[in-house]
Amino acid sequence: MALPFHGRGAAIGIGEESTYGTAVSRTNWRQTVSDDAYRKVTRNYRPGLVGVATSFTKRNTVSGVTECGGKFEHVLTYEGMGMLLKHALGSLATTGTGPYVHTYKIGALPTGLTVEFIDSGDSGNVAQVAEGCKISRMALKWTDPSQVAMASFDFLAEDIGAYTTAGSPAYGTGSNLDMIGHQLGALSFNSNNYDLLSLEMIIDNKLGRRYKLGSRLTKEPARTDFCEVTWRAEVEWENGNALTDFRNEVQGDVAVTSTGTGNDACTFTLHNAQIWDAPKPVSGPGPGRIRIEWRGLSDGTDEGFQVALTNDDSSGTAN
């Protein structure tokens, strides 16, 4: 009996498409923590009453549209993240002459990505290529001062090819410059600082597929609603500042910075934020905790969420 393929050696490669759904070479590579790409064909029962008297279930189906998408997760780093941040938010501007500041803001989403999923480092047909990938949701998460931060991306795709032989991953020199929990500074809001127990940032692009007569594949997915940006932080109950801001419906920017070695740093800003919830459950004799949820809003200039990534790389989308 043949041995099974293993997840060891799994990776993803990405490349920016100039024409939606036309696959391109993969230029950037990331080591995978997990991935789950899918391709399915919707099936409908063929209508009709013709048959034999002994038929008690449907006898025929009709193959419908193809649905493709999935999710992948990897470590959040100070370099090599730019292409994904650009396609999750939409806008990129680079300033400086070294170090460089790459600023990603919410805007119109780029055309799309080609993503190669290498599901195993074993030899054989272990890779599949997805074309026309649009990032529908991004989540960044810090949970422990001793652990790396994680980034996960949900995507919709036009199509995913059959399993084939894998490409050759070439990881960037900065792809292991990890953001670690103990590097994350205090979160600021309304002139108050909060030492964090955990933090999660979510952007939901509200993407929807666009099927039209004449094809089983979606057209380029588009936003079906205003995108939504949410931050959730857990802090110890040391004072009533957050609860007071919640009661008073205070609005302002929320900011936090992760500082690495050398010139590496990243500042995350939630613009024009309001606290949507601040539950403070009591479940034991230890220190009390508050879970604070903010949502960012647009003011016509700032669109709710910004990532300012500082590093020594002149390109905001390099490997």
H or E segment to which residue 113 belongs: strand 113-118
**pLDDT for res 176:** 87
The residue that leads in pLDDT, 165 or 47, is 165
Peptide bond into 99 cis (omega under 30): yes
Mean of pLDDT over the chain: 93
Query: Residue 17, SS3?
Result: coil
Q: Across-strand partners of 203?
A: 138, 229
> 10 Å Cβ neighbour count for 57?
6
At residue 280, the pLDDT reads: 83
Average pLDDT over residues 183-211: 97
Beta-bridged to residue 255, according to DSSP, are: 188, 269
pLDDT tens-digit profile of 267-279? 999 999 999 999 8
The length of the chain is 319
User: Is the pLDDT at 50 greater than 80, yes or no?
Assistant: no
Of 6, 318, 4, 12, which Cα lies nearest the Cα of 167? 12
Residue 63 token pair: 């193959």
* Residue 175 in this model has a pLDDT that exceeds 60: yes
pLDDT value of position 2? 63
Mean per-residue pLDDT for 143-172? 95
The reported pLDDT for the residue numbered 6 is 81
The residue ranges of DSSP E strands in 205-263, in sequence order, are: 207-210, 219-223, 228-236, 251-259
Q: Is the pLDDT score of 237 beyond 60?
A: yes
Residues 212, 259: Cα–Cα separation, whole Å: 47
CA distance 13 to 28: 6
pLDDT tens-place string over residues 101-156: 999 999 999 999 999 999 988 888 999 999 999 999 999 999 999 999 999 999 99
